[in-house]
């Protein structure tokens, strides 16, 4: 009887344990599955967000690359245009340099011929030029060639291309001679020269001796024009310090080299390649 009761009790205990085990294990698994599912869902959402961010970044990068490609293409076109303009400018500069060299050679040959040929001035005009030279000590006249020389100090202040007021009477008297009698048919070439010293406080108007010599020649030319000599009879040139009369060894020598020369030219003399006989 006791054994039966004990067996029954054991059976009940086993049954109870079996029931607890049968009902407890699936719930724990369910909770674990739910937690795992939630975690996977969260991870999936995070991955989706990251994918969306990466997709947006990729799109933005693609747009940036497209914009950079367009900008590069535009810069390439601008560079090509700039190179084309530079090539044109270089060609123009080369042409101007060639023309200047040619004009320089023509002027030089003209000056050489003027110094070696006989003066085209009449005896009366020559006499008047000689009288002018006696009245103005800083004015020289060569009756053989007809070349007149003005020492720059009588015409200009140091480093300046503006004529002194004292130079006006001399230039007016010269223009009066050239506008009288047979001299009215002659032409004038005004040529400026400097010494070898660089210009102090060089400005925009004449930063070099080349500019200063040319500007001084132009100032004398304009004064002669204002005194009544026609435009077509006048020409000007500047040689800087390239044609000194004497070596620039001292202040006296440099003073001689600073000068403006006026060459009297016959009507048929060709100046810088222009022949008035060819004009119709």
Mean local confidence (pLDDT), 163-174: 93
Q: Which helix (H) or strand (E) holds 237?
A: strand 234-238
Domain ranges of the chain: 117-278
Among 188, 210, 207, 191, which residue's Cα sits nearest to residue 199?
Answer: 207
pLDDT for residue 21: 45
**Token pair belonging to 104:** 């320089």
Indicate whether this model's pTM tops 0.75. no
Q: Which helix (H) or strand (E) holds 70?
A: helix 2-116
CA atoms of 227 and 261, how far apart (whole Å)? 18
Mean local confidence (pLDDT), 160-172: 92
Mean local confidence (pLDDT), 62-76: 85
**Residue 163: DSSP 8-state:** B
pLDDT for residue 82: 87
Q: Greater confidence, 235 or 103?
A: 235
Sheet containing strand 147-151, strands side by side: 139-142, 147-151, 259-265, 187-193, 234-238
For residue 89, the Cα-to-chain-centroid distance in whole angstroms is 10
pLDDT for residue 110: 58
At the fourth CATH level, the homologous superfamily of domain 117-278 is: OmpA-like domain (3.30.1330.60)
Burial class (CB within 10 angstroms; exposed 0-12, middle 13-18, buried 19+) of 129: buried
CB distance 149 to 246 below 8 Å: no
pLDDT band for 9, please (50, 70, 90 cuts).
very low
pLDDT tens string 102-130: 666 665 555 555 555 578 899 999 999 99
Does residue 22 carry a pLDDT above 50?
no
pLDDT band for 261, please (50, 70, 90 cuts).
very high
Length of the chain measured in residues: 280
pLDDT for residue 70: 85
Q: Would you call 136 helix, strand, or coil by DSSP?
A: coil
pLDDT for residue 23: 47
pLDDT for residue 76: 85
Mean local confidence (pLDDT), 24-30: 68
CA atoms of 98 and 89, how far apart (whole Å)? 14
State percent of the chain over pLDDT 70.
79
């Amino acid at each position: 009887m006791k054994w039966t009761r004990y067996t029954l009790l054991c059976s009940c205990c086993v049954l109870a344990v079996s029931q607890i085990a049968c009902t407890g294990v699936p719930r724990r698994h369910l909770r674990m599955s739910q937690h795992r599912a939630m975690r996977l869902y969260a991870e999936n959402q995070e991955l989706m967000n990251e994918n969306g961010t990466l997709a947006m970044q990729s799109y933005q990068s693609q747009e940036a690359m497209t914009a950079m490609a367009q900008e590069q293409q535009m810069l390439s076109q601008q560079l090509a245009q700039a190179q084309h303009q530079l090539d044109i400018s270089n060609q123009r500069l080369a042409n101007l340099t060639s023309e200047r060299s040619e004009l320089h050679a023509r002027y030089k040959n003209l000056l050489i011929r003027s110094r070696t040929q006989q003066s085209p001035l009449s005896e009366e005009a020559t006499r008047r030029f000689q009288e002018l030279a006696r009245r103005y000590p800083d004015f020289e006249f060569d009756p053989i060639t007809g070349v007149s020389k003005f020492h720059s100090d009588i015409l200009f202040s140091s480093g300046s291309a503006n004529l002194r007021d004292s130079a006006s009477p001399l230039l007016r008297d010269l223009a009066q001679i050239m506008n009288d009698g047979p001299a009215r048919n002659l032409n004038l070439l005004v040529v400026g020269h400097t010494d070898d010293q660089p210009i102090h406080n060089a400005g925009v108007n004449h930063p070099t001796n080349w500019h200063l010599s040319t500007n001084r020649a132009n100032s004398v030319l304009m004064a002669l024009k204002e005194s009544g000599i026609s435009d077509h009879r006048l020409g000007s040139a500047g040689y800087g310090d390239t044609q000194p009369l004497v070596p620039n060894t001292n202040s006296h020598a440099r003073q001689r080299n600073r000068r403006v020369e006026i060459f009297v030219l016959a009507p048929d003399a060709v100046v810088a390649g222009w022949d008035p006989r060819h004009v119709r």
